Amino acid sequence: MVDKIVIVGGGTSGWMSASYLKAAFGERISVTVVESDRVPTIGVGEATFSTVRHFFEYLGLKETDWMPACNATYKLGIRFQNWSGVGEHFYHPFERLRVVDGFPLTDWWLKQRPSERFDADNFVMAALGDNLRSPRFLDGTLFERGNSDLGPGGAAFRSTLTEQDTQFPYAYHFDAALLAKYLTEYGVSRGVRHVVDDVVDVKLDDRGWISAVATAEHGDLEGDLFVDCTGFKGLLLNKALEEPFVSYQDTLPNNRAVALRVPVDTAERGIPPYTRATAMEAGWIWTIPLFDRIGTGYVYADEYCSPEEAERTLREFVGPGAEGLEANHIRMRIGRSRNSWTKNCVAVGLSSGFVEPLESTGIFFIQHGIEQLVKHFPQQDWSQRLRDSYNRAVNNCMDGVREFLVLHYRGAARNDNQYWQDAKTRKVPDALQGRLEQWQNKLPDAENIFPHYHGFEAYSYVAMLMGLKGIPLRAAGALDLMDGTAAAEEFERVRATAKDLLRTLPSQHEYLAQLH
Ligand code: FAD
């Protein structure tokens, strides 16, 4: 049996992997996590994807427990600021499109334009975002009915991304260091062996498979399966097993970031229920609201901006609150390992791949990777077909997200300097070029977006294309010949629902203060 697992790395990926494997297999496997106290974790990665709830539910964790412990907040979507023009904003919400007479409401919007805000006309979330609302009422009920919601205190059934049939309306922001600590306690209390030490060598057997990792003070740690969670360095997969890395840098040029943790008085300022992504001269700045502080960082391409300039820009953006804070400069490896699973080593997290932080997909990739690992867990014969199937799923997921992110830069109306002008002429992934042309005549649908699972549905592509405004779009021709009354009524219903929710939902701060 394959039952002895050694995980190297104790960042978000190491502890998510350890706790998930324990939740899946319990006492039937032994799990060791070895992490260095000399090599820091990346120190960022705090906004997530709505599907992350499957992870917490799988572990049996309740929002009422883990959210206050990790200073977590709700995220209903991403607010894109200045991507279509300075001073403009729009939301990419976790909300599917309504459909009227067989056409998504966004098609009808192109025809009728009830207002200048396509997001507020099509999605209830835009009003909740603008007005800093919680997605839950004070009694814990979710604002949107029809979702398989367990309530903030419930965590009874275990599902994975594969069972995602509805669009859950929110994700979370959390303090990554606190989450790693929370998951460490979860894992250790369920039998995970926690070794704090440096891995100094990776030992290979005659076939070139990993037999053990050698540590500085705890000797050799032997295992059947090794999970590489060592971050961008890919100590086991890329270094010891020499699995090549496939760079995405030719299509996604941002390769650095500088980050700050800014304490704020959230009672006074309120807590926005969204991640903000503000377009800048050489990239974009994230603003992630936690219960007690903001996480913020400038993601940029060093071809256009020096680290000093980026830090200065970020500090100016934050204002007086940035004074005296230490900046974390990060070099990013953009792309993926050719195969994330080779021989008896699986890379999860940054060692597997990373497609830059826009759209918060890092933790989603971790979740996808470990869910797939459980679904493809090796039998004694270590079938190559099993590994091929795993690698296909992981590679497709990252390649699909790459397409979606390239669309953000190509599709942005912003065109005011070399960085944004180059974004319009830079190479795009082969198939995306054709899709971009097609979407000008037929808005994205399930049939004409990247064809494999990558977490994003057609509505996300539509929301981005409409919000970015850089690519001309047309309503379906059929709408010229159809009666638009039902669509006009649906726009009215969106407005009325939003108005009603603004009247009844508490602010995000009010709701979370109660949890604390
Ligand atoms: P790391 O955090 O780098 O951890 C590596 C671990 O390996 C550490 O514990 C270290 O001690 C250990 N280690 C290394 N070498 C050794 C050794 N020799 N011996 C023992 N241990 C060793 N994702 C999101 O989902 N949302 C976001 O908003 C987001 N923002 C991001 C912003 C930036 C700028 C970047 C770069 C990433 C972002 N991500 C985001 C991705 C997210 O941060 C990562 O996916 C996540 O933190 C997982 O990192 P990791 O655990 O793979 O690696």
Note the ipTM here.
0.99
Of the candidates 273, 264, 93, which has an alpha carbon nearest to the alpha carbon of residue 172? Answer: 273
Of the candidates 235, 242, 185, 208, which has an alpha carbon nearest to the alpha carbon of residue 349? Answer: 235
**Does 286 map to a domain?**
yes
> Taking the CB of residue 413, how many other CB atoms lie within 10 A of it?
15
Of the candidates 435, 443, 374, which has an alpha carbon nearest to the alpha carbon of residue 400? Answer: 435
Structure tokens at 324: 């005296």
Residues 436 and 434: their CA atoms lie apart, in Å, by 5
**Does 515 map to a domain?**
no
Q: How far is the CA of 95 from the centre of ligand 1 (A)?
A: 29
Pocket of ligand 1 (CB under 6 A): 8-14, 34-36, 39, 41-42, 44-48, 176, 198-199, 229-231, 235, 257, 297, 330, 332, 349-350, 357, 360, 362-363, 366
Nearest atom, ligand 1, residue 213 CA: 19
**∠ CA 299-117-492, rounded to 5°:** 140
Residue nearest to atom 36 of ligand 1 (CA): 332
Each of the 516 residues of the chain gets a pLDDT tens digit; together they read: 899 999 999 999 999 999 999 999 999 999 999 999 999 999 999 999 999 999 999 999 999 999 999 999 999 999 999 999 999 999 999 999 999 999 999 999 999 999 999 999 999 999 999 999 999 999 999 998 665 566 666 555 688 888 877 889 999 999 999 999 999 999 999 999 999 999 999 999 999 999 999 999 999 999 999 999 999 999 999 999 999 999 999 999 999 999 999 999 999 999 999 999 999 999 999 999 999 999 999 999 999 999 999 999 999 999 999 999 999 999 999 999 999 999 999 999 999 999 999 999 999 999 999 999 999 999 888 999 999 999 999 999 999 999 999 999 999 999 999 999 999 999 999 899 999 999 999 999 999 999 999 999 999 999 999 999 999 999 999 999 999 999 999 999 999 999 999 999 999 999 999 999
Structural domain for 274, as ranges: 256-330
Q: How far is the CA of 10 from the centre of ligand 1 (A)?
A: 9
Q: How far is the CA of 281 from the centre of ligand 1 (A)?
A: 26
Residues 476 and 473: their CA atoms lie apart, in Å, by 10
Could you give the residue numbers annotated as active site?
75
Residue ranges of the binding site: 75, 199, 350, 359, 363
Q: How far is the CA of 52 from the centre of ligand 1 (A)?
A: 17
Q: Is 480 helix (H, G, I), strand (E, B) or coil?
A: helix
Determine which helix (DSSP H) or strand (DSSP E) holds 159, and give its type and residue range. Answer: none
Residues 473 and 123: their CA atoms lie apart, in Å, by 19
Residues 91 and 58: their CA atoms lie apart, in Å, by 29
- If one residue of 19, 41, 336 were mutated to test the ligand 1 pocket, choosing by the most ligand atoms within 8 A of its CB, it would be 41
Residue ranges of the binding site for 7-chloro-L-tryptophan: 75
**Does 86 map to a domain?**
no
**Total count of domains within the chain:** 1
Structure tokens at 470: 């850089």
- If one residue of 19, 53, 230 were mutated to test the ligand 1 pocket, choosing by the most ligand atoms within 8 A of its CB, it would be 230
Burial 438-476 (b: 16+ CB within 10 A, else e): ebeeebbeeeebbeeebbbbbbbbbbbbbbbbbbebebb
**Does 269 map to a domain?**
yes
Of the candidates 283, 278, 224, which has an alpha carbon nearest to the alpha carbon of residue 256? Answer: 283
